[in-house]
Each structure stands twice: as structure tokens, then as C-alpha cells.
Amino acid sequence: MAQVETAESGQGGASHRGPGSGTWRAGVSRAIRIGSQPGPWKRGLVLAALALLLGLFMLLHAKIPNRIGNLGSLVETFLPWFGLFIPVLLAGAIWRRSASAVAALLLPVMVWLNLFGGQLSDKSSPGSDLTVASHNVNAENPDPAGTARDLAASGADVVALQELTPEGRGTYEKGLAKTYPYHTVQGTVGLWSKLPLSDTRPVDIKLGWTRALRTTVATDQGPMAVYVAHLPSVRVKFNAGFTAGQRDASAHALGNAIAREPVERVVLLGDLNGTMNDRALADITSQMRSTQGAAGDGFGFSWPASFPMARIDQILVKGVEPKSSSVLPATGSDHRPVAAGISW
């Protein structure tokens, strides 16, 4: 009888310990798992490293060498777009609940705002004395007559055109003649003006044919030298990188010509096939101001017309004050026209 009671007592004890023991073991296991998981400052270290690398990449973009496929110029052409990596990394940091990654993102955010934060506000002001415009009309433009009408209706006092062809030249001359009584065409570039022109000549930018000109516009405040230029195109090739050598040489020659200009007020209109961030244009940008940077609203991307990703059509000034800068509606060209208001 005592043996039976002992067995029953043992069974009852086992039954009592089973559930409690399992709950205790589960709690311990859960605590071990929680304790073994990294904290918010230790999670997402790869994301944090990528954020820091992105910030340093944008901060030190000028140190990226051009010796290998003009890599530096290629990066600088699309530099604003590297900011798109910031929200991607932020989403990853939130998903990983990583405090270290969020903190690391402060570097690329501050660098991007320092480089491009000024482009987020409208810097235009009223009171321009003269409006100038520039447009690469595209040699294969399917509607040059329509493009001419759009430019004539733009309200600009001076209009520069690039990529003119012998076949299309007459169409532009006819379409712009009523609005602009004065004009000159040198090679593949031209200038149409409501004000008299003088001292017009081609500018040698080391191409072997004419893609730049210089003329004097007679204003009420005195002469203003206007340059129109179409620098060589650049390409991204797998085996050669960013092929910008010819463009760079032409930019150097154009910069030298502008540096020798005796007239105090100077305006450069043209397709420079480069952005103001591109170090290869330093011979020009070191002595002239970008109207978009000084008086624009936004980035002013002008190419390609269907989905602009870069500002390669430029209006630069020296000796005058930029008052406004804008991108005009698309025409039949693969570029969008750009315009700027200037004052004395």
C-alpha cells in the first residue's frame, strides 16, 4: 500500500513539474534570444558604413581622378542625383531599426544640402533689363518651324541657337525675322536679337569648324559682348569611360577667349555639354556666374527634353546681375530652351 502511494505521489509530482518546467524553460530561452540580439546601435552596421561612404563620396567628389575614363567629370555631371540614395538607406535603417545607420545618414544629408540646398528655393527677383535665351534646336528637329514660333513667343530680347543645319537655317531665319530684325549665323551657331549687333566673328574652339561666335549687342546702357557656343558632345563608353577630351579642350579655348574680352559686360549662351559642377569647365566657370545658380528656381535641368536629368545648356554672365532663370517648355528638340533675365 505504501508503495502504491509512493508511485502515485511520484506521478503527481511529475505531472505538477511538467507544465511549470516547460514555461520556465521557454522564458529562459526567450530571454537568451533577446539578450543575444544586437542593440539598436549595433544593428545595421553595413547600412551605416554605406551612408558614411555616400557622404564622403559626395564631399570629396573633386578628388575623384579624371585620369581613368574622366570618372570625376562623369560623377560631377550627375552629382545631385546621388542624393536619391539617402531615402533608400533611410528606409533600410528604419526597417533594421538601426540607430547607428540613422545617425550615419546625417553626413550625406548635410553634404547634399551644402552642395545643392540653395537650388531648392526660388532666387529670382523682379527688375530685369534684358531677357536672353538659348536653345540647342537639334539638327534632326522634326518641326523647326514650330520651334521658331515657340522661341519668337518666348519674350526674349536675344536668342542663341545651336546645332543649326544648312537645311534648317532658312526656316529659323524666316520664323524669327519678324521678332528679331538682327541676326548672325556662324557655322552651326547663331544669334537673333531685337537690338543691333556689331563686331561679329567666329571663335576658334579647336574643332576645325565653327561652333562658337562672338558679337556685340548694343544696349541702352552700352555694349554687351555675347558669346554663343556649342561644345563637343560627350559619351559614356564601356571601353573608354567618359569621352570628354575634345569637349575639355574646347572649353579651355573658349575660356581663354572670354578672358581676353575687352568689353566689361559679357554673356555666354550655349550648349556646353557639361554642368556647373564639372571641373572640366573651370576655365569658364571661374570667371563667370551661372544665372541658374544665382537666380534660378530648382536645378533647371534641360536635357534630355523628355525627362531632363542634367543642366548642360547654360547661360553664364560677367559684369551684369542675374535676376531670373528658367527652363522653357519643350519644343521639337531633344533639349529644352533656357532663359534668363539680367540687369545692369
Model confidence pLDDT, tens digit, residues 73-105: 889 999 999 999 999 999 999 999 999 999 999
Half-sphere exposure of 126 (CA within 13 A, CB side): 0
Q: Is there a single domain that holds both residue 263 and residue 207?
A: yes
Q: Please give the pLDDT value at position 10.
A: 47
Q: Is the pLDDT of residue 254 over 90?
A: yes
Q: Is the pLDDT of residue 12 over 80?
A: no
Q: Is there a single domain that holds both residue 313 and residue 178?
A: yes
Q: Is there a single domain that holds both residue 74 and residue 137?
A: no
Q: Is there a single domain that holds both residue 116 and residue 138?
A: no
Q: Is there a single domain that holds both residue 97 and residue 160?
A: no
Q: Which three cell numbers stand for residue 189?
A: 551657331
Q: Is there a single domain that holds both residue 141 and residue 251?
A: yes
Q: Is there a single domain that holds both residue 157 and residue 277?
A: yes
> Which whole-number Å values give the CA distances from 174 to 146, 147, 155, in the listed order?
12, 12, 17
Q: Is there a single domain that holds both residue 55 and residue 200?
A: no
User: Angle CA(186)–CA(189)–CA(191) in degrees, nearest 5?
Assistant: 85
Written in H, E and C, the secondary structure of the chain is CHHHHHHHHHHHHHHHHHHHHHHHHHHHHHHHHHHHCCCCCCCCHHHHHHHHHHHHHHHCHHHCCCCCCCHHHHHHHCHHHHHHHHHHHHHHHHHHCCHHHHHHCHHHHHHHHHHHHHHHCECCCCCCCEEEEEEECCCCCCCHHHHHHHHHCCCCCEEEEECCCHHHHHHHHHHHCCCCCEEEEECCEEEEECCCEEEEEECCCCCCCCCEEEEEEEECCEEEEEEEEECCCCEEECCCEEECHHHHHHHHHHHHHHHCCCCCCEEEEEECCCCCCCHHHHHHHCCCEEHHHHHCECCCCCECCCCCCECCEEEEEECCEEEEEEECCCCCCCCCCEEEEEEC
Q: Is the pLDDT of residue 9 over 50?
A: no
Q: Report residue 74: phi and psi, to 5°.
A: -65, -45
Q: Is there a single domain that holds both residue 193 and residue 307?
A: yes
> Is residue 191 a part of any domain in this protein?
yes
Model confidence pLDDT, tens digit, residues 125-150: 999 999 999 999 999 999 999 999 99
**Lowest pLDDT segment from 23-32, 137-146, 165-174, 270-279:** 23-32
Q: Is there a single domain that holds both residue 236 and residue 271?
A: yes
Q: Which three cell numbers stand for residue 257?
A: 577667349
Q: Please give the pLDDT value at position 42.
A: 87
CA atoms 186, 191, 197, 202: torsion sign:
negative
Q: Which domain holds residue 55?
A: 45-120
Domain total of the chain: 2
Pick the last residue of a domain from 72, 101, 120.
120
> Is residue 301 a part of any domain in this protein?
yes
> Is residue 107 a part of any domain in this protein?
yes
pTM score, whole prediction = 0.85
3 - beta bridge partners? Answer: none
Pick the last residue of a domain from 120, 151, 178.
120
Q: Please give the pLDDT value at position 241.
A: 55
Pick the last residue of a domain from 100, 120, 140.
120
Q: Is there a single domain that holds both residue 69 and residue 110?
A: yes
**Lowest pLDDT segment from 14-18, 87-91, 194-198, 265-269:** 14-18
Task: Grade residue 4 by pLDDT with cuts at 50, 70 and 90.
Answer: very low
Task: Grade residue 235 by pLDDT with cuts at 50, 70 and 90.
Answer: confident
Q: Is there a single domain that holds both residue 95 and residue 222?
A: no
